[in-house]
Structure 1
Amino acid sequence: MKQIMAMVLLAVFLLVPGVSLFAEVPRESGIASWYDSDPNGPLTANGEQFDPDALAAAHKNLKFGTIVRVHDVNNGLSVDVRINDRGPFVDGRIIDLTPAAARAIDMYERGIIPVELEILYEPAVPESKYNRPGDTGWYRVQLGTFSNTRTVLQLFEKFHSIGFRP
């Protein structure tokens, strides 16, 4: 009886983890390109400062913070990147890499390459510099510029009477 119980436990121990070990990893195939920041607004879509030296990328719909392995189909090189931006905005392309990520798989000079994407990690909640728990949701609005105190107090009383509070 003890041997049967031991065999059942061993089978459960070996089979249950095996389900997750052999589960298929989500993949996507297509064309990759690389991009650099706009000097006038170098923020990524998740609010981070664009860093051309970071191993990061833009994807149309993966959650911010997702880690993706980008495999160059032609040369076999791969790089792991973190999704922190949206794009590419060119038909047929599936991912835009930073210059550092493009250099890591030797695609910087070629510009575009066929790739296969493998999702290594996807966060439960997308990473973002916007809407953080510490944000209060309060905004400061300047209602005007005034040359005398009486006008300011009149406007203050008007807004206070309709429910606005400083």
Structure 2
Amino acid sequence: MTYTNFLFIIVFIVLMGCSAQQGRYQHHHDSSPTRKPSAVELQDAIPRVEKKSRGGNRNYTVRGIQYEVLDNATNFKQQGEASWYGKKFHGHLTSNGEIYNMYGMSAAHKNLPLPTYVRVTNLANNKSVIVRVNDRGPFHKDRVIDLSYSAAYKLDMLKTGTAQVTVEAISNINQEATVVNKEKAHYIQVFATKNATQANKTATKISSLFNYPTKAKQESGYYKVHIGPIKEKTVITMLLEQLKTQGYPSAFTVKY
């Protein structure tokens, strides 16, 4: 074996070793994204009744510390330090098996059942946001919640990195919402088009923005983009208002 070949083999082994140690994340350190959240991305999460996720709701251990997951979030209120997480975790799985979107209104909590909707208020400026907890963390002493980039932006805490907050679970969704007639399912028709590709792309976009089932339904030669089914009138009203800001002022409700 020549000296050159020997060096080539050594370099190859070193590079392979470095590659194997990079871990699951593309970025070694967390950082801010290159753009600010849009107006739509700054909309609060819309609380709705959801079943517990199949993943992420068992008691667990991290770094030798045991954490107990609550059975429910009724009357839950907490005060402490909030942090946020961004590019390093964007596109990776959350604890309940969803994909983390740093532009979504989501959060991580050590003990709340997944998912749980909470109102987070920045005690320094009284700004608040409603987020959907779908992940575990933060695993740092004295921190109570880890917020998405958009949520942290809305609370005006990006410069400081952390903030003292209150976390209040929204656990009375059924009592606050006015349930619509159960005989027929209610949907919101966003728009209709004869272009199947456009309809499917719009359905994917709307579903990502509002975290509600959205699909393009073919009917009478048109592809109609529907959100739903939706049971609560209050949610329908909120979605219609948010769709206006997204450029769909003609959206309306339909029954099936």
Sort the TM-score into its range (normalised by shorter chain): 0.5 to 0.7
Give 1:26's aligned residue. 76
Give 1:69's aligned residue. 119
1:57 aligns with one of 98, 102, 107:
107
CA contact (8 A) 2:119 2:167 kept: yes
Rounded Cα–Cα distance in structure 2 between residues aligned with 1:85 and 1:43: 9
More contact order relative to length (CA 8 Å, sep ≥ 6):
1
Q: Write out per-residue CA displacement over residues 128-148 of structure 1, whole angstroms, 9 at most, x where no aligned residue.
A: xxxxxxxxxxxxxxxxxxxxx
Rounded Cα–Cα distance in structure 2 between residues aligned with 1:34 and 1:105: 11
CA contact (8 A) 1:30 1:116 kept: yes
CA contact (8 A) 2:90 2:100 kept: no
Tell me the secondary structure at the aligned position of residue 150 of structure 2: helix
Fraction of identical pairs, as percent = 43
Rounded Cα–Cα distance in structure 2 between residues aligned with 1:55 and 1:41: 14
Give 2:215's aligned residue. none
Rounded Cα–Cα distance in structure 1 between residues aligned with 2:137 and 2:75: 22
Moved over 3 A (4+): 37-41
Give 1:89's aligned residue. 139
Give 1:99's aligned residue. 149
* CA displacement at 1:36 relative to structure 2: 1.8
Mapping of residues 68-147 of structure 1, within 5 Å: 68-121=118-171
Q: Write out per-residue CA displacement over residues 96-147 of structure 1, whole angstroms, 9 at most, x where no aligned residue.
A: 0000000011111210010011111389xxxxxxxxxxxxxxxxxxxxxxxx
Rounded Cα–Cα distance in structure 2 between residues aligned with 1:53 and 1:97: 10
Give 1:18's aligned residue. none
1:42 aligns with one of 70, 92, 99:
92
Gapped regions of structure 1 (runs ≥ 5) = 1-23, 124-166
Mean Cα deviation higher: 30-39 or 94-103: 30-39
Which structure has the larger Rg?
A: 1
Q: Which amino acid aligns with 1:26?
A: F
C-alpha spacing 1:84/1:40, structure 2 compared with 1 (3 Å): closer
Normalised to the residue count of structure 2, the TM-score between the two structures is: 0.37
Tell me the secondary structure at the aligned position of residue 100 of structure 1: helix
Q: How many residues align?
A: 100
Gapped regions of structure 2 (runs ≥ 5) = 1-73, 174-256
Rounded Cα–Cα distance in structure 1 between residues aligned with 2:168 and 2:90: 33
Normalised to the residue count of structure 1, the TM-score between the two structures is: 0.56
Rounded Cα–Cα distance in structure 1 between residues aligned with 2:108 and 2:100: 11
Rounded Cα–Cα distance in structure 1 between residues aligned with 2:97 and 2:131: 17
Mean Cα deviation higher: 94-103 or 39-48: 39-48
* CA displacement at 1:26 relative to structure 2: 2.6
Rounded Cα–Cα distance in structure 2 between residues aligned with 1:40 and 1:71: 24
C-alpha spacing 1:101/1:41, structure 2 compared with 1 (3 Å): closer
Rounded Cα–Cα distance in structure 2 between residues aligned with 1:78 and 1:40: 23
Give 1:162's aligned residue. none
